[in-house]
Amino acid sequence: MQNPNEDTEWNDILRSKGIIPPKKEKEITEEDVINLVEQTVREKQNGEKKDMVDMSLDELDELEDDEDERILEEYRRRRIAELKEQARKDVFGEVIEISGQDFVNQINKAGPGVWVVLLLHKQGIPICALLTEYLNHLARKFPATKFVKSISTTCIPNYPDSNLPTIFIYYEGDLKQQFAGPRLFSLTTTQDEFEWMLGQTGAVKTKLKDNPRPKTRDVLFDNLLTNM
């Protein structure tokens, strides 16, 4: 007897006449599901690149490693560029002694993007000696800033001793700020306080956020910063 479930033209005619019952749908087994999944995976592998939703955990881990490597490489490239740029700027690192004749070339023509800190001093004045010591330290700490010193009367004829020590701050050849005399400096001024003062002008990129001695901060200095 012919199998009524076979796909034949005669059985289709008999089903249409109602002589035999409709064809039974084939039951999908677990093996059918596995075969279907394996076939889909093979098609994906042989075709275009998979979407992330189609990837296995191992494939996702491999993709993550590739992405991490790409990000690290981009970070490394940018960091190298930053270091090269910083190295280009870090060209000073010491205090330069100048005279009046050197002023224009060393300060007014220091170059684009260059901060200059000029100390006017004179031997025999203790506060000047103290700031000179601080200046030497800061020149090494902030090599992108140009630190310059000059004997006051050599740089500016008849410059009064009462104004010593004097600090002039220049940026790209223009005077931005000045601090003069014992009204702002004393033998109790610390190196951190001096660095903080210069940092407020922008001359150095100090990491100090607050005045190391806020309770004794000079009102005159606050006014100078306010008017900058």
Set out the domains of the chain in order of their start, with CATH numbers. 96-200 (3.40.30.10)
Report the pLDDT value the prediction gives residue 147, as an integer from 0 to 100. Answer: 96
Token pair 């001793």: residue: 161
Tell me what pLDDT residue 111 has: 86
Residues 6+ away with beta carbon under 8 Å from 129: 121, 123
> Exposure string (b/e) for 111-141, b if CB count within 10 Å is 16 or more?
eeebbbbbbbbbeeeebbebbeebbeebbee
Could you say which DSSP state residue 86 is in? H
CA atoms within 13 A on the CB side of 1: 4
The H or E element containing residue 62 is: helix 57-89
Q: What is the structure's pLDDT at 95?
A: 95
3-state secondary structure of 93: coil
User: Measured between alpha carbons, how far is residue 159 from residues 37, 122, 154, 165, 176 in Å?
Assistant: 91, 10, 9, 11, 20
Residue 127: the pLDDT is 95
pLDDT along the chain (228 residues), means of 10: 63 66 61 61 52 61 66 69 63 90 90 93 95 96 94 93 96 94 89 94 91 60 51
Q: Provide the whole-model pTM.
A: 0.58
pLDDT at 131: 96
Token pair, residue 95, equals 């205090």
Q: What is the DSSP string of 194-228?
A: HHHHHHHHTSS-----S-SSGGG--HHHHHHHHT-
How big, in percent rounded to 5, are the helix, strand and coil portions of the chain?
Answer: 50, 15, 35
pLDDT reported for residue 223:
52
Contact 121, 151 (CB under 8 A): yes
The two tokens of residue 105 are: 């070339």
**Can you give the C-alpha Rg of the chain in angstroms?**
40
Residue 143 CB neighbours (<10 A): 17
Strand 146-151 versus strand 115-121 pairing type: parallel
